[in-house]
Every structure is written in C-alpha cells, then in structure tokens.
Amino acid sequence: MSTQNALSTILVEKINNDTLVLPTLPAIALKVRKAADNPDINLNAMADVVGQDPSLGARMIKIANSAYMGRSVKVTSINQAVTRIGLRQIKNISTALAMEQLFVSKNDIVTRYLQKEWASTVNIVANSMAVLQLYIARTKKREMSIDTMTLAALVHNIGVLPVLTEAERHPEVFANPSFLDVAIDKLSGRIGASIMKEWEFDEAFVNIAQYWKDLSFIPENVGYIDFVRVGAALSGAIGSQKDAIMNLAVQRNIVEDISILHSDEFNDLSSAAKQIFM
C-alpha cells in the first residue's frame, strides 16, 4: 500500500470508528461563548471574561478601533471595546480571534504547513468579508452579519487540522507533499463537518466545512458559503473551479459584475479586514 493510501486509510478508519482526535476550541473562546449564551450577561461582565486573556483583550480593542467597525473615535479599554462591538457580535468575533491558537504544532514541518494554511485562511476571510460588505451595501439586505461571515470563513477548512495531526505521526508523507494534498482534498470536508458538530455550531457552519469546494451543493437561498467560495476563488485556493464560482456568484446576485472584485473599493475593504488578524 502506498504511503498516500495508507494515510487515507488510517484517517477513514478513525473517522468511521469515531477515534479521530478533533481539535477543541481554545479555552477563552469557550468561556466567551458560554458567557454570551447567558441571557443575564451584561457588557461589564463580558468585558471581565474577555479580560481574562490579555491577548484577546488587546485584539478586541484593535478590532473595535478598526475600519471593520466603521468608527473614528478610538477606544482604549476592554470595556469600551466590548461596548462598541456589542454582545450580539462578541461571541463570533472572540471565537474568530482565538482561532489562530489552533494553527500551531511542536513539529517544525507541520508548523510550516499550518502557517501556510493560516495565511491562506486569512486571505479568504478578508476577501469573503469584503464581498459581503459590498453585497450588503448594494442590496441593503442585512440578514447576514460580518461577524458571522468572519467566523464562517475562518472555519471553512478546519478539517485540515486533524489530517496534519495524523500526518505528523507519519513523517514520510512530508517527503512528497502530494500525499498530503490528496488526503486533505479527499477527507478534510468530512472531518471539518464533524468538528463543527462537535463544537455545536449550527448547520450553516457544518455545510460550509463539508461542502465549500463541492459545487453540486448549492443552497436555495444565498448564504455564507457563497461568500466563502468567492473569497477562496479570489485567493487562488479553489483551483480550476474559479470561473464556475464567479459565474455562480453573478447568477446568485452575490455580485452584479465580477469587475467590482478587482476595484480599489474591494481591495481597500479586503486590506482593512486582513488587518484584524495581523
């Protein structure tokens, strides 16, 4: 059996036996999500929870002061940042900001793969956010939110993490990156859906993780998966399907004309979004 098939076989067996180790959300993200689900939580109490992680607190202040929030007056404290962002958005934003903690490894080779994956993910997030902002501005439809879009794009390829974790036990696969590419392409969607279910995310997130590259899956209504696909196509992360995705985006009125995706306005929005994770 080839190394490539061996890795895939091991992963499939672990998936089927429910023994594949899935990543867990960072502790601070779990705390914030739990607090946000408490109907009695207030802004001061939420600020106290966020403040338990100095890094998250600092990034919350940064995002509150960013073009993403569209405000010019600077905030200087976690309380002010949480007040500006609001309890409705804080759950998704805190989870998104904590996600980078998952893209780490003690193995130098795996770390390089994870860093590459994180950089690609951030590009896709930034592009997806920018496309949604243009869509909302043009259509005035506000059913979808930027904070949920951010998190949806961040987890779209989360299934790659267990694949790399398993590959770490088989260092011979790194001698030929195509081995990993095949395993990731074949299994990461299925694994990603399992992670979303394990994290108790709703069906939209499960579908994004499982089907973002599968164009046979087209929801009846426009959803976050449409924007993830466009963001991935613009980032060069979806291969030969780029033209099909762009055509679908026009058909589904995500954009009126794909030329807007090469405009200064789009580039400015994407750059501003990317700064959140820098």
Domains identified in the chain and CATH numbers: 3-23+96-277 (1.10.3210.10)
How many residues are listed for the chain in this entry? 278
Q: Using the CB atoms, write b or e for 53-81: b if 16+ within 10 Å.
A: beebbebbbbbbbeebbeeeeebeebbbb
Q: Identify the pLDDT of residue 172.
A: 75
pLDDT one digit per residue (tens) for the chain, 278 residues:
455 567 778 888 888 888 888 888 888 889 988 998 888 888 889 999 998 988 888 888 888 887 666 666 788 889 988 888 888 788 888 888 888 888 888 888 888 889 999 999 999 999 999 999 999 999 988 889 888 999 999 999 999 999 888 888 877 777 677 777 888 888 899 999 999 999 999 999 999 999 999 999 999 999 999 999 999 999 988 878 999 999 999 999 999 999 999 999 999 999 988 888 87
Residues 6+ apart with CB under 8 A from 90: 32, 36, 46, 50, 82
Q: Identify the pLDDT of residue 206.
A: 96
- For residues 159 and 266, the answer to whether their CB atoms sit within 8 Å is no
Max CA separation in the chain (angstroms): 62
DSSP state of 53: S
Q: Identify the pLDDT of residue 124.
A: 96
Q: Identify the pLDDT of residue 175.
A: 67
